[in-house]
A = this chain, B = another copy of it.
Amino acid sequence: MSAKQDEDALIGLAQEFRDALRQSVYVLRRLDAHGELSSAQLSVLKMALDGGARVGEIARDLGVKVPSATEQIIRLERAGLLRREADPNDSRAVRVAATAEGRAAVDLADRRRNERIAAILATLGRDERDAIRAALPVFHKINSSVRD
């Protein structure tokens, strides 16, 4: 097979991959049920679970700019799900830590979302689930490479 053909095959795969990405957005949107934590908020809150995190760390982990993280944090704080406290080592920084209510909310939302996805995965054949399982680490790798 020529280099040109390789290139074409790669572009074709890219096109299909792009479609899958787009569809993933819609799947994720459906997963956001009313009255529950949104995907974005859940992600922020999860970072605030163990020992707390700084605003900048949260933003970096989520792939958004700092002001976007601040916005979510403020909302979650108003909802009583996390607290902002001064960092003892660096008073420029703010440490964000989940409250007990926050922990409970993460627990509940996580469980519900997993159940919804699991219900879908349960309708797949074993080979299909295996295909998904095999692809997940590659998705992870792709994401990391895009982050930089």
Contact = CB atoms under 8 A, between A and B. Distances in A.
Interface residues of A, number: 54
Copies of this protein chain in the complex? 2
Interface in A48-84: 62-63
A118 B11 CA distance: 6
16 contacts: A13-B129, A14-B114, A16-B133, A17-B121, A17-B132, A18-B113, A20-B140, A21-B24, A21-B27, A22-B43, A23-B139, A23-B140, A24-B143, A26-B146, A120-B142, A131-B135
Interface of A: 7, 10-11, 13-31, 39, 43, 62-63, 110, 113-115, 117-118, 120-124, 128-129, 131-136, 138-143, 145-147
